[in-house]
Structure 1
Amino acid sequence: MSVRQSLLAILDQGPCYGYQLRAEFDRRTGSTWPLNVGQIYNTLERLERDGLVVKSDADEHGHVYWEITVAGSVEARRWLTAPVERGPGTRDELAIKLSLAATLPGVDVAELLRAQRRVAAERLESLRAATASAGDGTTPEALARTLVYDSTVFAAEAELRWLDHVERRLAQHPDHAMSLELSTERPRRGRPART
């Protein structure tokens, strides 16, 4: 998630000060992704450095407002209209953990799958309850919250389907028939041996 572009998109609606940006982000994302105010001010300073926002004078309450520049507005619109591209590689800890566990001798992958499925099912139940209590989406805030909650529900459902898939795939290879021993081949790079 891009905090940078999110702040630009909000500032494209009008000038805001830091805490106001935090409140607007919170309101527009259903309070599902908390931002700390230090992160907001650091991002604003980088946006200013890059010519995408400018800092105004403080008001009578000491609030320093930030305004979007033309270049910032163009960047915000570009981000809002572009699809999100997901990278080809995975950094998903669960996928990496299961692929390692499936190829390491002596690891009870079936138990790992059972434990993960239990946690994922509990999370899904909790997310469904949160979604049900989020409202019917008739206000802008409720709509934002339900959109984010729906996304997390779909992701949790997908994780459970994927765990089923992993279990079926592993059933084709009983008793770690696919376990890998350490390779005896030495990598070409690395620290040279001390003499």
Structure 2
Amino acid sequence: MSIRHGLLALLERGPRYGSQLRTEFESRTGSTWPLNVGQVYTTLSRLERDGMVAQDGEDDAGHALYSITEDGRTELRSWFETPVDRSSPPRDELAIKLAMAVGAPGVDIRAVIQSQRSHTLKAMQDYTRLKAQALADVPTDRDEVAWLLVVEQLIFQAEAEARWLDHCESRLVRLAEAAATEPAARPAPSTSRWAGWSAASRPSTRR
């Protein structure tokens, strides 16, 4: 998530001070990615250093205001026009956990998958309730529309994760069945993916 670009987008609407930017950022995203004031001011300092924002006096309450510069507008337009790079995906803790669980002694990988699936489905239900609340009244305010887009992305993400977990479990069952039907006289190679699996950790072959 690019905090700096989010702040630039808010500043394009007019001068803002730090805590005001934090409030508007969280309102726009439904507090999905909460910020603290320290993060905001650290980012503003870097943007000012890079010539993308400039201090613009104070408001009536004495808050230091920041405005976007032309360089900042150019950077913001470039951000909006450039696709998000998916060629170098971020580390995914769940994918790493399942990869490490395969063949790990004493680990029941099906239990890991089932536990995560329950958690993911619960999160999806919570997001769906939030969406229903947002749609109770037709959203017209831009912050309401922005939050609706965010919560729908979270729903689709949870749905995709649940489907992937189903796929993982099915694949492990098929691999276990294939390993179980290998001829007994044929020694398993030391590099077998199933080497070291205990009875508890090997996926069940029952459907």
After TM superposition, the score normalised by the length of structure 2 is 0.80
The answer to whether the aligner puts 1:165 opposite 2:167 as a matched pair is yes
Mapping of residues 102-121 of structure 1, within 5 Å: 102-121=102-121
Secondary structure in structure 2 of the residue aligned to 1:172: helix
- 1:50-129 aligned at under 5 Å gives the runs 50-129=50-129
Partner-residue secondary structure (3-state), 1:66: strand
Confirm or deny: 8 A CA contact 2:52 2:70 kept in the other structure.
Answer: yes
Instruction: Return 71-80 or 18-27, whichever deviates more.
Output: 18-27
For 1:141, which of 137, 140, 143 is the aligned residue? 143
Specify the code of the residue in structure 2 equivalent to 1:178: R
**Which SS does the other structure have where 1:173 is aligned?**
helix
Q: How far apart, in 2, do the equivalents of 1:124 and 1:70 lie?
A: 41
- Residue equivalent to 1:20: 20
Summarize deviations over 1:118-174 as a string: whole Å, max 9, x none: 111111111111111123433322211111110000000001000011011111221
With 166-175 and 42-51 compared, the bigger mean Cα shift is at 166-175
Mapped contact 2:52–2:71 kept (Cα < 8 A): yes
Give the structure 2 partner of residue 186 of structure 1: none
- 1:87-141 deviations in whole A, cap 9, x for unaligned? 4345111101101111323321111111111111111111111111123433322
Matches within 5 A, 1:26-45: 26-45=26-45
Offset at residue 180 of structure 1 (A): 5.3
Q: Equivalent of 2:193, from 174, 178, 192?
A: 178
- Tell me which moved more, 160-169 or 171-180: 171-180
Say which SS state the counterpart of residue 134 (structure 1) adopts: helix
Aligned length: 181
* Secondary structure class of the residue paired with 1:103: coil
| Residue range with higher mean Cα deviation, 172-181 or 159-168 | 172-181
* Unpaired runs of at least 5, structure 1: 182-195
Of the structure 1 ranges 156-165 and 109-118, higher mean CA displacement relative to structure 2 is found in 109-118
Q: Which moved more, 1:29-38 or 1:49-58?
A: 29-38
Aligned-residue CA RMSD (Å): 1.9
- For 1:89 and 1:150, locate their aligned partners in 2 and report how far apart those are by CA, in whole Å: 21
Moved more, 41-50 or 9-18: 9-18
Gaps of 5+ in 2: 180-191, 197-207
